[in-house]
Amino acid sequence: MALQDGTSMLKSVFFKEYLKIRWFFFTLAALNLVLMLYIFIDTRQLFIMDHAEMVWYRVLHLGQIHYDDLKYAPIATGIALAFIQYLPEMMGERLRLSLHLPVSPHRLIMVHVLVGLAAIGLIIMLDLVALALLTYRFFPAEVVWISFLTALPWCMAGVAAYLGLTFGLLEPGFLSKLFNIAIAAGLANLFLYPAEPGGYVYVLFALFLLVLFMIPAVLLPAYRYRYRRVT
């Protein structure tokens, strides 16, 4: 019975988070689609202004990135989702009440985090699919793969920004909060260093592991928040 009650509570928390962010999610997804439409128009303009052979030469041999406007979109999306999801919880002390439910804190926090990760993951997939389609529309197939490898670290930066800001927002102490956010900003910046197209390919697995390790790290400030409040 206790297990069923706990599962029911977690489902309720999941549904609450879904209701809280759904319209913001659709808005962010629409903004990302508008950006991809802009990149499509901008890429098409390259072929209007010059011969296809010259555009291909600049992209394939000179490393010109025709979709560089996408670079900061995932990180902006991750930051926005973290603020939308956790700022009301912290300012309104709602998370304090949730953490005192008869459910283990780590399971409850993981439900929050997984909802946010699912949201940013869907938007990132939308961006990558749109990028692949528009690139395939104008360039040889090999450019599609290079574009994917180039944009993937930017997308991972968005996930790292979401987790890092979550790590900071859940921290109860103000100075510790600032410190955590600074650390998170430094980690997210690892994915954004200037590199030639596809240049991150050799470190993608290590960066993926870094993002995975950031998920359980979110539990540390959540536990400090939970037990600091118990008096």
Q: How far apart are CA 197 and CA 147, in angstroms?
A: 7
Whether pLDDT at 137 is above 50? yes
Q: 219 and 106 in contact (C-beta within 8 Å)?
A: yes
pLDDT computed for residue 227 by the predictor: 63
pLDDT computed for residue 38 by the predictor: 94
Name the most confidently modeled range: 53-57, 81-85, 165-169.
81-85
pLDDT computed for residue 1 by the predictor: 45
Q: 42 and 66 in contact (C-beta within 8 Å)?
A: yes
**DSSP string of the chain?**
-HHHHHHHHHHHHHHHHHHHHHHHHHHHHHHHHHHHHHHHHHHHHHHHHS-HHHHHHHHHTS---TTGGGTTHHHHHHHHHHHHHHHHHHHTTHHHHHTTSSS-HHHHHHHHHHHHHHHHHHHHHHHHHHHHHHHHHHS-HHHHHHHHHHHHHHHHHHHHHHHHHHHHHT-SSHHHHHHHHHHHHHHHHTT-S---TTTTGGGHHHHHHHHHHHHHHTHHHHHHHHHHS--
Q: 158 and 63 in contact (C-beta within 8 Å)?
A: no
What does pLDDT average to over the chain? 83
Whether pLDDT at 3 is above 70? no
70 residue type, one letter: L
198 dihedral zone (left: phi>0; alpha: psi -120 to 50; beta): left
210 residue type, one letter: L
Q: 211 and 156 in contact (C-beta within 8 Å)?
A: yes
Q: How far apart are CA 58 and CA 197, in angstroms?
A: 12
Q: How far apart are CA 11 and CA 137, in angstroms?
A: 42
**Which tens digit of pLDDT belongs to each residue from 29-55?**
999 999 999 999 998 988 888 877 787
pLDDT band per the 50, 70, 90 thresholds, residue 175: confident
